[in-house]
């Protein structure tokens, strides 16, 4: 293995304040009851900043600001002008890209290579894409003059903090809604920087409101009578609670929830490409990806070859400082998530699967988990059924395409799936039968603002991205 | 009973429609409607119907759109031929006309919806990327009580034309046109299990359908009581069913139906593949 000299990205580009208020009606304000949360760097456990914890009074204030902005400014504004604000935001994101990337890696623990090359460019692209829709909604296939819903309450997860914000805010604003968004408890900082970007873009006050806080803040937002739309990305369990809480209301709901994607490798697949896809599928973003390819299904005839190659490749993954440009796997986002990964991995061993990780030196401070593969996994094992949301791959085998489909679909989830084969007709045959919202054939974990993303079954409903992503924010 | 010639008429037994067959309720219960005893479906009948609907998903969703369109058109043909039966049950003539025409309208959508609601996506990279709608799976439907025939057809046809299969809880007050419609469906080349119709009291059986873990979506259109609609929507959250809520106001069933009842029970699937030599 090569020795690499450390190549850390400079933190100097990020100017963190010791504490942040809530972003309501265009200004940073103190929370009504003064509660705070510390946001820490998961790679070092140092406190990065204190943020406010919004309570019900703050939620109410933000929703009223959003309603006023909807009624008086954003709703009546011509689409072409809404578009220009969104284009402005996209441009400022591009201009401040490095600052956003470094901040995202600091707060989330993801490698700078990913925040710099994947997250932030996709964020800018998402705003750019939806900006263009704002004055073309009548051509989107939802009737000649589709109307916005009003005020959207949006709750996002910690795995792609800024990208999930973009997926929520860009289509909502393009369609003419105003928003109150709650970032995740452990990763609030890039959303607060985004609030500054809204100020810099002269976005009218109240169009975007950012409330930091934990689960209770999210609950207060989702249950608030003054919102017309709930959009949530996160766990299936919380998704269920939200679906129950909006029952009987007129709130429109879209949910992007968990997954347990099958990544299916046939015996005619180019092994090196497939192994790169397997590694990207499960170790991208430390496996904190709802569409991660966490169940590898390998055709029996190439099992030994694929596993040997996969282990060789895993031994070359570099785990460590998220700000180092050579890092492949960064820090686990929180102590709580690390606990969950450890618990499920231990269950994997105790249920009889065989655990393997490459020799891997982990830093002393912070939250870390070595890339891990389980072999000898059966469909009944919890590590084959439950979303681990970490760098842990469960390997199963199959003999026929029909068996691969059967096993791939044997899950309550249905977010994504991968197929690796050289045979075109087989790709299309498989793609027809896989019950998943996104099917990657001979690739994995690709995202684009023009491409709809979202699940079947218990992975949620509604789509984000593409023309279809507008529907979530239109009264259609 | 005898007709004017003195002949004793053969009466019809009104039964359930499950898996293409006409069983009585396993509970052995019935309730009287318009001088007939109508099957009073039970929780077990709901479960049997869901099993039948699930078993039919693979074949029906895998059938070609052309084939599904022809079968829906065949339903219109059969309904036209049996229109007198519906009129005899008290369905107004013009409602029968509209119900027939509605089957024709939806039949034509079968091979067009993917074109209208699917699309290629110009992603920023060398990838083929295509999004297309697919059926959600098994849809539980609470049919409206009125208009008995047109209301039922208007919720049934859009759910199945795209490849879903359905379990319909027919409104308690007006089951006879529904059962007669199931006889139309049974003679229209519609595969058994695609449509399952349960008569009885939705207030008794709907919670089992709403909470059933092998049902993918729930259409609450026929629920008049907002409390019950909310209760069943909550039950549907158990496995994150797609829920179509009752309309906020009265529905004009004669109006252009639009596409909303089809798109409510569709999933968008997006397929990526690299381009290269």
* A466 interaction partners in chain B (CB closer than 8 Å): 119, 121, 131, 270
Token representation of residue B267: 């999933």
pLDDT recorded at residue A3: 80
Looking at residue B38, its pLDDT comes to 97
Considering only the beta carbons, identify the residue of A240, A432, A441 that sits closest to B272.
Answer: A441
Mutation target vs B (from A237, A461, A464; most B CBs, 10 A cutoff)? A461
Dist CA A11 CA A99 (whole Å): 8
Q: What is the pLDDT of residues A83-113, one digit of tens each?
A: 999 999 999 999 999 999 999 999 999 999 9
**Chain B residues within 8 A of A239 when measuring between CB atoms:** 240
Task: Kindly state whether A236 is in contact with chain B, defined as any CB-CB distance less than 8 angstroms.
Answer: yes
ipTM of the complex: 0.97
- Compute the distance between CA of residue A414 and CA of residue A291 in angstroms, rounded to an integer: 9
Q: Which of residues 236-255 of B touch A (CB under 8 A)?
A: 236-240, 242-243, 245, 248
State the nearest Cα–Cα gap between A417 and chain B, in angstroms.
Answer: 10
Q: How does residue A207 score in pLDDT terms, banded at 50, 70 and 90?
A: very high
Parallel, antiparallel or unpaired: strands A229-233 and A151-155: parallel
The reply to whether B237 falls in a domain is yes
Contact at 8 Å (CB) between A92 and A85? Answer: no
Q: Over the stretch A362-404, which tens digit does the pLDDT of each residue have?
A: 999 999 999 999 999 999 999 999 999 999 999 999 999 999 9
- Choose the closest CB to B270 out of A240, A437, A476: A437
* Sheet (strand A178-182) strand order: A27-29, A22-24, A208-210, A178-182, A151-155, A229-233, A252-256, A460-461
In a domain, B94, yes or no: yes
- Is pTM beyond 0.90? Reply is yes
Confidence class of residue A194 from pLDDT cuts 50, 70 and 90?
A: very high
Contact call for residues A210 and A190 (beta carbons, < 8 A)? no
Q: Is A216 a catalytic residue?
A: no
* CA distances (Å), origin A403, targets A249, A280, A340, A408: 42, 24, 31, 8
Provide the b/e sequence for A425-436 (b: ≥16 CB within 10 Å): ebbebbbebbbb
Asked if the structure places residue B235 within a domain, the reply is yes
Res A34: pLDDT: 77
CB atoms B121 and A248 under 8 Å: no
Q: Which residue of chain A comes nearest to B226, CA vs CA?
A: A248
Q: How many CA atoms lie within 13 A of B181 on its CB side?
A: 28
Cross-chain residue pair B267–A456, CB shorter than 8 Å: yes
Element housing B273 (H / E): strand B266-274
Q: How far is A231 from chain B (nearest CA, A)?
A: 14
Q: Is B209 helix (H, G, I), strand (E, B) or coil?
A: helix
A348–chain B nearest CA distance, Å:
25
A255 touches chain B (CB under 8 A): yes
Domains of chain B: total: 1
For residue A432, report the phi and psi dihedrals to the nearest 5 degrees. Answer: -60, -35
Residue whose C-alpha is closest to residue A458's, from A412, A417, A408, A406? A412
A20 Cα to chain B: minimum distance (Å): 36
Q: A137 with A470: CB under 8 angstroms?
A: yes
Query: Range of B204's domain?
Result: 30-274
Q: Which residues in chain B have Cβ-Cβ distances shorter than 8 Å to A247?
A: 230-231, 233-234, 236-237, 243
Q: Searching chain A, which residue's CA lies closest to the CA of residue B273?
A: A441
Chain A positions in Cβ-Cβ contact with residue B127 (cut-off 8 Å)? 443, 446
Average confidence (pLDDT) per 10 residues, chain B, 277 residues: 77 95 97 95 98 98 98 98 97 98 98 97 98 98 97 98 98 96 98 98 98 98 97 98 96 96 98 96
Task: Indicate the residue of B231, B242, B268 with minimum beta-carbon distance to A437.
Answer: B268
3-state secondary structure chain A: CCCCCCCECCCCCCCCCCEECEEECCEEECCCCCCEEEEECCCCCCEEEEEECCCHHHHHHHHHHHHHHHHHHHCCCCHHHHHHHHHHHHHHHHHCHHHHHHHHHHHHCCCHHHHHHHHHHHHHHHHHHHHHHCCCHHHCCCCCCCCECCEEEEECCCCCHHHHHHHHHHHHHHHCCEEEEECCCCCCHHHHHHHHHHHHCCCCCCCEEECCCCHHHHHHHHCCCCCCEEEEECCHHHHHHHHHHCCCCCCEEEEECCCCCEEEECCCCCHHHHHHHHHHHHHHHHHCCCCCCCEEEEEHHHHHHHHHHHHHHHCCCCECCCCECCCCECCCCCHHHHHHHHHHHHHHHHCCCEEECCCCCCCCCCCCCCCEEEECCCCCCHHHHCCCCCCEEEEEEECCHHHHHHHHCCCCCCCEEEEECCCHHHHHHHHHHCCCCEEEECCCCCCCCCCCECCCHHHEECCECCCHHHHCCECC
Measured between alpha carbons, how far is B218 from B141 in angstroms, rounded to an integer?
Answer: 6
Distance CA A302, CA A397 (A): 10
Least Cα distance to B74 among B110, B38, B40 occurs for B110
pLDDT per position as a tens digit, A295-305: 999 999 999 99
Cβ distance of A437 and B273 shorter than 8 Å: no
Please tell me the distance from the alpha carbon of residue A213 to that of residue A231, in angstroms, as a whole number: 17
A412: contact with B, CB 8 A cutoff: yes
Three-state SS string over B3-67 comes to CCCCCECCCCCECCEECCECCCCCCCCEEEECCEEEECCCHHHHHHHHHHHHHHHHHHHHCCHHH
Q: For residue B269, list chain A residues with Cβ-Cβ distance below 8 A.
A: 431, 436-439, 456
Chain B contact for A457 (CB, 8 A cutoff): yes
pLDDT recorded at residue B3 = 58
Tokens 């705003």 correspond to what residue?
A127
The residues, any chain, with a CB within 8 Å of residue A409's CB and separated by 6 or more, are A433, A434, A435
- CA of A442 vs chain B CAs: smallest distance (Å): 6
Minimum CA–CA partner of B225 in chain A:
A248
Q: How far off is chain B from A317, nearest CA to CA, in Å?
A: 24
Q: Which of A53, A256, A458, A464 is catalytic?
A: A256
Per CB-CB distance under 8 Å, the chain A contacts of B216 are 457
pLDDT digits (tens, 9 = 90+) for A211-231: 999 999 999 999 999 999 999
Region of residue A285 (phi > 0: left; psi between -120 and 50: alpha; otherwise: beta) = left
A162 pLDDT more than 80: yes
DSSP line for B81-135: HTHHHHHHTT--HHHHHHHHHHHHHHHHHTTTHHHHH-EE---SSSEEEEEEEEE
Number of H helices and E strands in chain B, helices first, is: 10, 10
Task: Determine the distance from the C-alpha atom of residue A383 to the mean position of all C-alpha atoms in its chain, rounded to a whole number.
Answer: 21
Asked if A244 reaches chain B (Cβ–Cβ under 8 Å), the answer is: yes
pLDDT of A1 over the 60 cut: no
By Cβ distance, the residue of A247, A439, A466 closest to B271 is A439
Contacts of B245 in chain A (CB under 8 A): 250
Closest Cβ–Cβ partner in B124, B227, B267 for A437: B267
CA distances from B188 to A349, B109, B183 (A): 55, 18, 9
pLDDT tens digit string along A42-98? 999 999 999 999 999 999 999 999 999 999 999 999 999 999 999 999 999 999 999
Closest CA to A401 of A432, A379, A445, A378: A432
Kindly give the pairing relationship between strand B119-120 and strand A295-299.
unpaired
Inspect the interface and report whether the beta carbons of B123 and A446 lie closer than 8 Å.
yes
Whether A448 and B260 lie within 8 Å, measured CB to CB: no
Instruction: Please state, for a pLDDT cut of 90, what percent of chain A lies above it.
Output: 99
Q: What is the CATH number of the domain that holds B230?
A: 3.40.605.10
Given an 8 Å threshold on Cβ–Cβ distance, is A438 in contact with B229? no
Chain A positions in Cβ-Cβ contact with residue B116 (cut-off 8 Å): 141
CA-CA-CA-CA torsion sign (A313, A318, A319, A322): negative
- Interface residue of A249, A250, A457, A475 to substitute, partner B, most B CBs within 10 Å: A457
The answer, for A442 touching chain B at a CB cutoff of 8 Å, is yes
pLDDT greater than 80 at residue A11: yes
List Cβ neighbours of A12 (8 Å cut-off, separation of 6 or more): none
CA neighbor of A155 nearest in space, from A48, A93, A229: A229
Q: Does A257 touch chain B (CB under 8 A)?
A: yes
Interface of A with B in 89-128 (CB under 8 A): 125
Is residue B166 within a helix (H) or strand (E), and if so which, with residue range?
A: strand B165-169
Query: A2: pLDDT confidence band, cut at 50, 70 and 90?
Result: low
Give CA separation, A322 vs A41, A114, A198, B47, in Å. Answer: 10, 9, 27, 52
Alpha carbon separation from A269 to A277, A359, A421, B18 (Å, rounded): 11, 28, 4, 44
Find the closest chain A residue to B122 by CA distance: A450
CB nearest to B121's CB, from A412, A432, A451: A451
Q: Note whether A466 contacts B121, CB cutoff 8 Å.
A: yes
Contact B254, B149 (CB under 8 A): no
Which of B216, B234, B270 is the closest to A452 by Cβ? B270
Q: Do B230 and A247 touch (CB under 8 A)?
A: yes
Q: How far is CA A335 from CA A108, A186, A434, A476, B233, in A?
A: 12, 10, 35, 42, 36
């Amino acid at each position: 293995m090569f020795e690499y000299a450390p190549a850390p990205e400079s933190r100097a580009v990020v100017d963190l304040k010791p504490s942040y208020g809530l972003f309501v009606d265009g200004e940073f304000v103190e929370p009504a009851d003064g509660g705070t949360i510390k946001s820490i760097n998961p790679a070092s456990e140092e406190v990065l900043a204190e943020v406010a914890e919004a309570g019900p009074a703050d939620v109410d204030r933000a929703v009223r600001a959003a309603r006023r902005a909807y009624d008086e400014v954003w709703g009546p504004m011509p689409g072409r002008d809404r578009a220009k604000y969104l284009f402005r935001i996209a441009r400022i994101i591009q201009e401040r890209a490095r600052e956003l990337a470094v901040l995202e890696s600091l707060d989330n623990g993801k490698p700078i290579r990913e925040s710099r090359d994947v997250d932030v460019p996709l964020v800018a692209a998402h705003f750019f894409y939806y900006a263009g829709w704002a004055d073309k909604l009548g051509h989107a296939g939802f009737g000649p003059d589709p109307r916005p819903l009003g005020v959207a309450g949006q709750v996002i997860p910690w795995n792609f903090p800024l990208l999930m914000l973009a997926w929520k805010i860009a289509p909502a604003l393009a369609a003419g809604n105003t928003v109150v968004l709650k970032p995740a408890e452990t990763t609030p900082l890039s959303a607060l920087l985004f609030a500054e970007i809204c100020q810099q873009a002269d976005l009218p006050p109240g169009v975007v409101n950012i409330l930091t806080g934990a689960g209770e803040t999210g609950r207060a937002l989702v249950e608030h009578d003054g919102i017309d739309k709930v959009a949530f990305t996160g766990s299936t369990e919380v998704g269920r609670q939200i679906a129950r809480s909006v029952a009987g209301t007129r709130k429109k709901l879209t949910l992007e929830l968990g997954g347990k994607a099958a990544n299916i490798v046939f015996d005619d697949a180019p092994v090196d490409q497939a192994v790169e896809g397997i590694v990207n599928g499960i170790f991208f973003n430390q496996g904190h990806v709802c569409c991660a390819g966490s169940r590898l299904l390998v055709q029996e005839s190439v099992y030994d070859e694929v596993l040997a190659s996969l282990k060789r490749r895993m031994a070359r993954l570099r785990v460590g400082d998220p700000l180092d440009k050579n890092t492949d796997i960064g820090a686990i986002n929180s102590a709580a998530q690390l606990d969950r990964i450890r618990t499920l991995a231990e269950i994997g061993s105790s249920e009889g699967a065989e655990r393997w990780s490459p020799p891997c030196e982990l830093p002393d401070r912070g939250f870390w988990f070595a890339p891990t593969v389980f072999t000898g996994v059966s469909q009944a094992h919890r590590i084959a059924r439950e979303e681990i949301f970490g760098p842990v791959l469960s390997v199963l085998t199959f003999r026929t395409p029909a068996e691969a489909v059967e096993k791939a679909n044997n899950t309550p989830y249905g977010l994504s799936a991968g197929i690796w084969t050289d045979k075109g007709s087989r790709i299309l045959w498989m793609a027809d039968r896989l019950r998943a919202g996104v099917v990657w054939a001979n690739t994995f974990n690709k995202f684009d603002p023009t491409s709809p993303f979202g699940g079947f079954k218990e992975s949620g409903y509604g789509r984000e991205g593409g023309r279809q992503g507008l529907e979530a924010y239109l009264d259609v | 009973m005898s007709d004017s010639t003195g002949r004793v008429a053969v009466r019809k037994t009104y039964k359930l429609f499950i898996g293409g067959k006409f069983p009585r309720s396993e509970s052995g219960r019935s309730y009287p409607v318009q001088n007939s005893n109508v099957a009073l479906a039970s929780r077990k009948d709901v479960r049997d119907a869901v099993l039948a609907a699930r078993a039919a998903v693979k074949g029906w969703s895998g059938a070609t759109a052309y084939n599904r369109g022809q079968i829906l058109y065949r339903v219109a043909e059969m309904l036209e031929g049996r229109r007198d039966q519906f009129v005899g049950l008290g369905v107004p003539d013009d409602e029968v006309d509209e119900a027939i025409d509605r089957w024709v309208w939806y039949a034509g959508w079968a091979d067009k919806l993917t074109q209208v609601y699917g699309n290629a996506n110009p992603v920023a990279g060398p990838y083929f990327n295509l999004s297309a709608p697919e059926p959600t799976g098994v849809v539980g439907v609470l049919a409206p009580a009125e208009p008995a025939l047109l209301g039922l057809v208007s919720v049934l046809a859009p759910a199945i034309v795209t490849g879903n299969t359905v379990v319909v809880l027919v409104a308690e007050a007006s089951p006879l046109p529904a059962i007669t419609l199931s006889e139309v469906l049974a003679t229209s080349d519609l595969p058994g299990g695609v449509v399952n119709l349960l008569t009885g009291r939705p207030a008794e059986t709907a919670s089992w359908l709403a909470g059933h873990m092998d049902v993918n979506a729930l259409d609450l259109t026929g629920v008049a009581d907002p409390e019950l609609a909310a209760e069943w929507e909550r039950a549907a959250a158990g496995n994150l069913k797609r829920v179509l809520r009752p309309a906020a106001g009265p529905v004009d069933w004669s109006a252009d139906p639009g596409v909303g009842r089809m798109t409510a029970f569709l999933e968008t699937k997006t397929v990526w593949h690299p381009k290269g030599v």
